[in-house]
Amino acid sequence: MKCSTKHRAFFLIPPEVQLLDIAGPAHLFYEAKEYGASLETHFLSMESHLMQFSSAGLSLGNLELFSDHTLGPDDLLFIPGLESHLFYDTNITKKYVDFFDWLRHQYKNKAKICSVCTGAYLVALTGLLNGKECTTHWKYLEDFKTRFPKTHLLSDRLITHDGNLYSSAGVSSGIDLALYLLEELFGAVFASKIAKEVVIYLRRTENDPQLSVFLQYRNHIDTRIHQVQDLLAQNLEQKNNIENLANSVHMSPRNLTRLFKKTTGITIGEYLDRLRVERAIQLLTAGSKVSAVATACGLQSSNQLRSLLKKHTTSLPSDWKA
């Protein structure tokens, strides 16, 4: 892992919380603890009573009062989405004035404030997002932009990160945000283990340094393109036919080709080549034979693999086995 610092992860449980918004990140951090991460988790109520009902009707109890905790630079606070009638209420800032004051204080203490879906509304109501990049659920983009014009709202992003403020587009993207944060805290290898444990594909933002191609080009919200990317990454040893890929997402080959380039910025062929290059280097570095690596990457010969690597890399693994 990247560090041995003790971190605390706090999960706010607002009234009528959206279950997946909170359950996804919370479970990822539970798995991280199971894998040995130095983590402590807490579940907070923003009201005086320590039980809340989710929007689905499930009750969540044994919560802690938010005001009993002071956060610092080694701590994270997840703020999930909630039912719209609550954040549309014009009296919300008066009703929860103590919580909003507390939230501003935790931000000043350098705690990581992480909103999921419409949880961004609760952060924006404090003014903390003024002048900051953020995102929220696509359904509320226009309303959010109107209510909080000083924010830099990004409509085409899965995750945003601005200082110690983080946000994700909604629902399952909270899982992506949790993985993103686990990688920041404990490193890429650890985060990939957690992703594998819960059988999800790891996605991050495209602006991170030294980004694996298996994580690049995933910072979008088109589920059809994500599905095609998953199929390519998980079936490199097979011949990936554009017609079959298009059929898998109920599109025409022409439309898929156009949409993939528009969404990711590169063609399907370029993306597939980059996947092959990275997989090949991983296998060659581990000592696999060139012929076996070529087969694993869906190539017809060792010469084809060499040509691909020379085209895309300037330094190749030295200990190739013929």
pLDDT digits (tens, 9 = 90+) for 235-288: 889 888 999 999 999 999 999 999 999 999 999 999 999 999 988 887 887 788
CB atoms within 10 A of CB 73: 11
* Whole-Å CA distances, 29 to 61, 76, 117, 123, 136: 19, 11, 18, 22, 22
The domain ranges of the chain are 7-192, 222-322
What dotted CATH number matches 7-192? 3.40.50.880
Counting every residue, how long is the chain?
322
pLDDT of amino acid 285 = 78
Task: Give CA–CA dist 154/159, Å, rounded.
Answer: 9
* Whole-Å CA distances, 177 to 61, 173, 221: 25, 6, 13
pLDDT digits (tens, 9 = 90+) for 77-117: 999 999 999 999 999 999 999 999 999 999 999 999 999 99
pLDDT of amino acid 3 = 56
Q: Which two tokens stand for residue 227?
A: 């599905």
pLDDT of amino acid 203 = 55
Over range 307-319, report the average pLDDT.
70
pLDDT digits (tens, 9 = 90+) for 162-202: 999 999 987 778 998 999 999 899 987 788 789 878 877 55
Over range 53-59, report the average pLDDT.
95
pLDDT of amino acid 207 = 42
pLDDT of amino acid 205 = 47
What is the band of 215 on the pLDDT scale with cuts at 50, 70, 90?
Answer: low
Over range 147-159, report the average pLDDT.
90
Q: Which two tokens stand for residue 240?
A: 């990936």
Task: Give CA–CA dist 187/263, Å, rounded.
Answer: 28
Per CATH, which fold does 222-322 belong to? Arc Repressor Mutant, subunit A (1.10.10)
Does pLDDT of 319 surpass 90? no
Inter-residue contact 117 to 137 (CB < 8 Å): yes
pLDDT of amino acid 55 = 94
Task: Give CA–CA dist 26/9, Å, rounded.
Answer: 9
Does pLDDT of 38 surpass 90? yes
Over range 304-318, report the average pLDDT.
76
pLDDT of amino acid 221 = 79
The answer to whether 7-192 and 222-322 have equal CATH topology is no
pLDDT of amino acid 222 = 86
Does pLDDT of 312 surpass 70? yes
pLDDT of amino acid 74 = 96
101 Cβ neighbours under 8 A, 6+ residues apart? none
Using a pLDDT cut of 90, give the percent of the chain over it: 68
Q: What pairs with residue 41 in β-bridges?
A: 9
Closest Cα to residue 170, out of 137, 197, 134, 122?
137
User: DSSP E strands: which ranges in 59-99?
Assistant: 59-60, 64-65, 75-79
Closest Cα to residue 275, out of 249, 296, 291?
296
SS3 sequence of 137-177? CHHHHHHHHHHCCCCEECCCCCEEEECCEEEECCCCHHHHH
What is the band of 233 on the pLDDT scale with cuts at 50, 70, 90?
Answer: confident
